[in-house]
A = this chain, B = another copy of it.
């Protein structure tokens, strides 16, 4: 939908560059921002700038934080012997929502993916190995997504960490709770069967 107004097209482009937002939705959102009151549009613009200015990586776990260290790393009540390794800050938020895990995290900010030209050196793996060298650390839980990239990243890291005498575990594979056998793919079902436990 060509509006012939360059700065409007630019705004549509910005929205369209977001994941899962197509041209039509992008155009709807851009026109919406032109129609809302001035204050709301200003807030949006400065929310982006502020978030980018204030939020940086925690020097320990690489999660997003607006403080010196993130609130998890600076919480003395957390168990420093277990580190849960995840792909992104959103995964930390998902696990925290569960309110069951009391250990620390390490955010890789991506997965090894040769197809996309992402090698181990582009991720925060070096920092993780350094942390794993601390004698306090007893276990690394690999909580990367159960995809090909997630799997190979987990295996890559475990090979580097095991010589340090740290236990490396992986999230269990199986049926999603509330799911249906009928709709489960063969691989998931096979993993669920393989990992069966006594009732």
Binding site for B on A (CB under 8 A): 1-8, 10-11, 13-14, 17-21, 24-25, 27-35, 38, 40-52, 54-55, 64-66, 71, 88-90, 93-94, 96-97, 109, 182-183
Contacts and interface: CB of A to CB of B under 8 A. Distances in A.
Given A1-B93, A43-B14, A90-B1, A33 B48 contact: yes
B28 A19 contact: yes
B18 A32 contact: yes
A107 to B, nearest CB: 11
A89 B41 contact: no
| Chief secondary structure at chain A's binding surface | helix
Question: Lowest 6 A-B CB distances belong to which pairs?
Answer: A45-B48, A14-B44, A11-B47, A1-B93, A11-B51, A14-B47
Given A8-B55, A20-B28, A41-B52, A34 B93 contact: no
A7 B97 contact: no
Given A43-B14, A44-B14, A52 B33 contact: yes
B19 A64 contact: no
A11 B46 CA distance: 9
Contacts of A71: 4
20 contacts: A1-B93, A5-B55, A5-B64, A5-B66, A7-B51, A10-B43, A10-B51, A18-B32, A18-B33, A19-B32, A21-B29, A24-B183, A31-B64, A33-B48, A34-B89, A35-B88, A41-B49, A42-B49, A44-B48, A45-B52
